[in-house]
Amino acid sequence: MEKQKILNEAKKSILEHDAERARKIAKDALAMGLDPATVLNAGFVPGIIEVGELFDQGRLFLPELILAGEAMKAASEICVAAIPASEARVGKKVLIATVEGDIHDIGKSIVVSFLRANGFETHDIGRDVPVETIIQKAVELGVEVIGTSALLTTTMEKQRELETELRKRGLRDKFKTIVGGAACTERWAKRIGADAYAANAVEGLKKIKELTGLS
């Protein structure tokens, strides 16, 4: 199978939210000798981006959104594991979570895939995650950056709560924080005291590189 065809098939597997197909395509692409980062960024990521757009337009429903996210996760795990260690590791740890009360994680999944493909040790602790858990895991894992996503205006307050709790516990200077999600804005990030805001995955990668001194 030629390169462009397999990249198209990768995108299609995400649009059809088929985890088994996505997993097989990822393995086939690597067996062909294709660069794993290219397979991820030029094949699977465009698929998950389109899924997010379809959901925003009301043309895709939540169960399909969740299944597409699972397919993306399956493919990205295979691709990221195949990136040579010398290329993969940048020595920076990032924790990513969707805040409590919010089960949307397509945007988060895209950011996680971008970060892993660019060498960050990225810990995705899931969706609907309480502030207490976010802090505990950040301390336990020794991350440099905490990224949180909130798609709903009703869950944005959890991002503010995280900032408040970090300050109360004397931990605020230990971590850089970045917020994202449909409900968030640059103004919101500044209001709650977060270090950065990202409107999308590409910007998220850029901002996290800046926060960790890589650009």
Q: pLDDT tens-digit profile of 32-50?
A: 999 988 898 899 988 987 8
| 202 band by pLDDT with thresholds 50, 70 and 90 | confident
pLDDT per position as a tens digit, 73-123: 899 889 878 877 655 567 899 999 999 998 877 778 778 877 887 789 999
**pLDDT score of 198 more than 60:** yes
Looking at the fold, whether 23 and 102 belong to one and the same domain comes out as no
* Residue from 45, 118, 105, 107 nearest 75 by CA: 45
Cα gap 48→50, rounded to integer Å: 5
Residue where a domain terminates, one of 67, 86, 105: 86
Ranges 19-23, 75-79, 199-203, most confident: 19-23
Write the CATH number for 11.
1.10.1240.10
In what order do the strands lie in the sheet containing 93-98? Answer: 121-124, 93-98, 145-149, 176-180, 196-197
Q: What is the mean pLDDT of the chain?
A: 90
Q: What is the average per-residue pLDDT within 185-205?
A: 92
Res 138: pLDDT = 98
Looking at the fold, whether 36 and 56 belong to one and the same domain comes out as yes
DSSP characters for 72-138? HHHHHHHHHHTS-HHHH--S-EEEEEEBTT----HHHHHHHHHHHHTT-EEEE--SSB-HHHHHHHH
Res 101: pLDDT = 94
| Higher pLDDT among residues 211 and 80, named by residue | 211
Domain span holding position 66: 1-86
Looking at the fold, whether 38 and 131 belong to one and the same domain comes out as no
Cα gap 209→215, rounded to integer Å: 6
